[in-house]
């Protein structure tokens, strides 16, 4: 999102980023540091500007997303992967945090059946002979590795998996939500197609709602977030009946 804003405007202040994305100023500053280290932008007094050569080598949205809060996403993914049991059937949605869970499951090398609408998840898990990989089909969403549309929706109607690992743009007391109706529809079907729904979301996703709700908080069996999550928000989610698991920092 930061790079998308810079592509459109060339430069922006930290506060403008925070208002547009719905994240704290401290979070924006950390993300700007990460993107500057990757060579995408230059930090300025109170903001950032797009580095000129980044215009011609800017990574696709999914790759840029993977760089943001990478440590948190890895920790969340590893925590979620540790809860997957051999021979389970697991739905993986298309999100950078769920991709980290897929990578962690690959490293465990346990036999599972994986169902996904994410081309990168399928590619990752296909490296294991112990894992059966099924893609749901559909159209590739521009700028991503996400499959969506009627073919995948029809496929999911015939699925009953053990677990669904779902990412979200935002999570509130009302449940997880997304920004586009097409992706929301796929995620809604994924939650209905699994016996256990586990939402993977880093701390910046907690507290603010997005446009389209995926499901209610009562439909979630577990929310896995990271050690930077606001304790007040986590407590409120638990009061609503949600099981909230905090992934620990790799340095702890």
Asked if 192 and 231 sit in the same domain, the reply is yes
Asked if 127 and 241 sit in the same domain, the reply is yes
Q: How far apart are CA 232 and CA 228, in angstroms?
A: 12
Residue 252 inside a domain? The answer is no
Residue 174: φ, ψ to 5°: -85, -10
The domain that contains 108 carries what CATH number?
3.40.50.1360
Residue 65 inside a domain? The answer is no
Residue 62 inside a domain? The answer is no
DSSP 216: -
The residue ranges of DSSP E strands in 144-189, in sequence order, are 147-148, 161-167, 170-172, 175-178
CA distances from 121 to 127, 170, 186 (A): 10, 21, 16
Q: Average pLDDT by consecutive 10-residue portion of the chain (252 residues)?
A: 70 85 87 87 87 49 59 95 98 95 97 97 97 95 84 96 95 91 94 98 86 94 96 95 91 54
Closest alpha carbon to 137 in 114, 117, 166:
117
Asked if 44 and 87 sit in the same domain, the reply is no
DSSP 90: E
Residue 236 inside a domain? The answer is yes
Residue 218: exposure state from Cβ atoms within 10 A (0-12, 13-18, ≥19):
exposed
Can you say how many angstroms the Cα of residue 223 is from the centroid of all Cα atoms in its chain? Answer: 12
161-167: strand order across its sheet: 131-135, 112-116, 89-92, 161-167, 194-200, 222-226, 244-247
- What local confidence, expressed as pLDDT, does residue 141 receive? 80
HSE of 170, CA atoms in CB hemisphere, 13 A: 17
- What local confidence, expressed as pLDDT, does residue 9 receive? 64
Residue 64 inside a domain? The answer is no
- What local confidence, expressed as pLDDT, does residue 22 receive? 78
- What local confidence, expressed as pLDDT, does residue 13 receive? 87
- What local confidence, expressed as pLDDT, does residue 65 receive? 58
Asked if 135 and 29 sit in the same domain, the reply is no
Asked if 193 and 150 sit in the same domain, the reply is yes
The domain that contains 39 carries what CATH number?
1.10.10.10
- What local confidence, expressed as pLDDT, does residue 56 receive? 39
175-178: strand order across its sheet: 170-172, 175-178, 212-213
B/e letters for 170-185, b = 16+ CB within 10 Å, e = fewer, are bbbeebbbbeeebbbb
Asked if 6 and 114 sit in the same domain, the reply is no
Asked if 21 and 84 sit in the same domain, the reply is no
Provide the domain count of the chain.
2
- What local confidence, expressed as pLDDT, does residue 23 receive? 83
Asked if 37 and 80 sit in the same domain, the reply is no
Domain residues for the domain of 41 are 2-57
- What local confidence, expressed as pLDDT, does residue 50 receive? 79
Asked if 22 and 98 sit in the same domain, the reply is no
Residue 191 inside a domain? The answer is yes
Tell me the pTM.
Answer: 0.76
């Amino acid at each position: 999102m930061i790079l998308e804003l810079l592509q459109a405007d060339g430069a922006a202040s930290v506060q403008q980023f925070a208002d547009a994305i719905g994240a704290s100023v401290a979070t924006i500053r950390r993300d700007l540091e990460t993107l500057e280290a990757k060579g995408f932008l230059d930090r300025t007094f109170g903001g950032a500007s797009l580095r000129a050569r980044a215009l011609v080598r800017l990574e696709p949205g999914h790759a840029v997303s993977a760089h943001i809060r990478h440590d948190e996403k890895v920790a969340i993914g590893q925590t979620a992967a540790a809860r997957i049991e051999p021979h389970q059937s697991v739905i993986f949605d298309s999100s950078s945090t769920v991709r980290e869970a897929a990578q962690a499951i690959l490293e465990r090398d346990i036999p599972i059946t994986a169902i996904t609408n994410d081309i990168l998840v399928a590619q990752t898990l296909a490296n294991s002979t112990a894992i059966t990989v099924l893609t749901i089909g559909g159209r590739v969403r521009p700028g991503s590795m996400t499959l969506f549309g009627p073919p995948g929706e029809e496929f999911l109607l015939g699925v009953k998996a053990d677990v669904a690992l779902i990412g979200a743009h935002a999570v509130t007391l009302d449940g997880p939500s997304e920004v586009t109706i097409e992706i929301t529809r796929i995620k809604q079907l994924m939650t209905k197609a699994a016996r256990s729904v586990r939402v993977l979301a880093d701390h910046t996703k907690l507290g603010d709602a997005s446009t389209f709700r995926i499901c209610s908080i009562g439909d979630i069996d577990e929310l896995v977030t990271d050690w930077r999550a606001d304790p007040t928000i986590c407590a409120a989610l638990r009061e609503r009946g949600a099981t909230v698991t905090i992934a620990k920092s790799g340095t702890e």
